[in-house]
Amino acid sequence: MRLTLTISELEAVLLVAETRNFRNAAEHAHISQPALSRRIQAAEQKLNAKLFDRDKHGVALTDAGTELIPIAQRMLSEFHDSLSDLSEFIAGRRGSVNIWALPSVAAALLPSAAQVLQKSHPQVRLTIQAASARQVTQAVEEGKADIGISIEISGQPADVQFTPLLKENFMLICPVDDPLARRKRVGWSVFANRPFVASGPASSIRQVTDQVLAASGRMPYANYVTDNISVVGAMVAAGVGVAAVPRLALRLMDTTRLRSVPLHSPTATREIGILVKKRRSLSAAVLQFIATLQQITPQVIEEAGPVRREG
């Protein structure tokens, strides 16, 4: 048989057991003595057992009452601890944030955001998944991710909201001893005559470079194609070709073996934003992470060089 006692009934039992007096217990509970008596009676009826013996000398626990006391203490302690945990979660001091982000953005922005968040909210756990732009968007749409950090893809789902965070310029990367490394800037036409290391067709980088190169009428032959931006950097550092990458992607490369040169004619940018699912209530921890991310972004992009922040 399942027995159910309310929190107020358990508290009433403990107060009477502690004070050994119904009037004093009622005063501690800030209720009338009849109201307290009704709670004790309700508990006894539910348990089908008498909890207190009353005589001219006062109140004493019965055997059933003595057995109930440690159970009631444990239940109330767990209840109040759980409420405390819930309060911490609601306030954003505890919780988890599931983040899906482009690899270059994850490497450039998230360490700094995590560092700041750790100081103010050490009990907030971050789970980070690096993925392509379409995968990030899909994860947000399906509820796998609390937030995404990515570009706005073509065919963006109507129920995914994109809030601009920054724009980053595209750079040519080449080996340190390449003649192009001494240039202050280069045009996109340079790729027509050099072996080209391209990002994979599903990447947000490829989306921008294909658009710019197609518009210029100088679409290069992609001698090497990889989905991994770190491999792009390694291939260029090895001297097998050159590549066009957004500036934040340099965080994933060995820049001691590479040089980056701003690209112009045209100046291409990649807009990065925060993705959330519309009409989904975000926890305080998620909102705090978003605020932290927006806070640290200006400093990160300033350290990375000439990229522009939205707003």
Residue 310, pLDDT above cutoff 60: no
The pLDDT, as a whole number, for residue 306 is 42
Of 217, 218, 221, 237, nearest in space to 229 by CA: 237
Q: What is the mean pLDDT of residues 51-75?
A: 89
Let me know if 279 is exposed, middle or buried by CB neighbors in 10 A (0-12, 13-18, 19+). Answer: exposed
Distance CA 181, CA 169 (A): 17
Are residue 102 and residue 128 in the same domain, yes or no? yes
Let me know if 68 is exposed, middle or buried by CB neighbors in 10 A (0-12, 13-18, 19+). Answer: buried
**Percent of the chain's residues with pLDDT above 70:** 96
Q: Range of 128's domain?
A: 94-166+271-309
Instruction: Record the tokens describing residue 40, joined without a space.
Output: 């004790």
Q: Specify the number of domains making up the chain.
A: 3
Residue range 117-126, pLDDT digits in tens: 998 888 899 9
Instruction: Record the tokens describing residue 100, joined without a space.
Output: 């899906």
Task: For the full predicted model, state whether its pTM sits above 0.95.
Answer: no
The pLDDT, as a whole number, for residue 303 is 74
Asked which of 45, 67, 90 is the last residue of a domain, the reply is 90
Would you say residue 264 lies in a domain?
A: yes
Q: What is the mean pLDDT of residues 232-250?
A: 95
Asked which of 56, 90, 124 is the last residue of a domain, the reply is 90
Distance CA 243, CA 199 (A): 9
Are residue 209 and residue 185 in the same domain, yes or no? yes
Contacts of residue 272, defined as CB under 8 A and 6 or more positions apart, other chains included, come to: 102, 105, 149, 150, 151, 164, 165, 166, 167, 168, 248
Are residue 150 and residue 210 in the same domain, yes or no? no
The pLDDT, as a whole number, for residue 100 is 98
Contacts of residue 62, defined as CB under 8 A and 6 or more positions apart, other chains included, come to: 49, 50, 51, 52, 53
Are residue 233 and residue 185 in the same domain, yes or no? yes
Amino acid at 193: N
**Percent of the chain's residues with pLDDT above 90:** 68
Q: What is the mean pLDDT of residues 20-45?
A: 92
Would you say residue 1 lies in a domain?
A: no
Are residue 160 and residue 184 in the same domain, yes or no? no
Would you say residue 2 lies in a domain?
A: no
Are residue 177 and residue 244 in the same domain, yes or no? yes
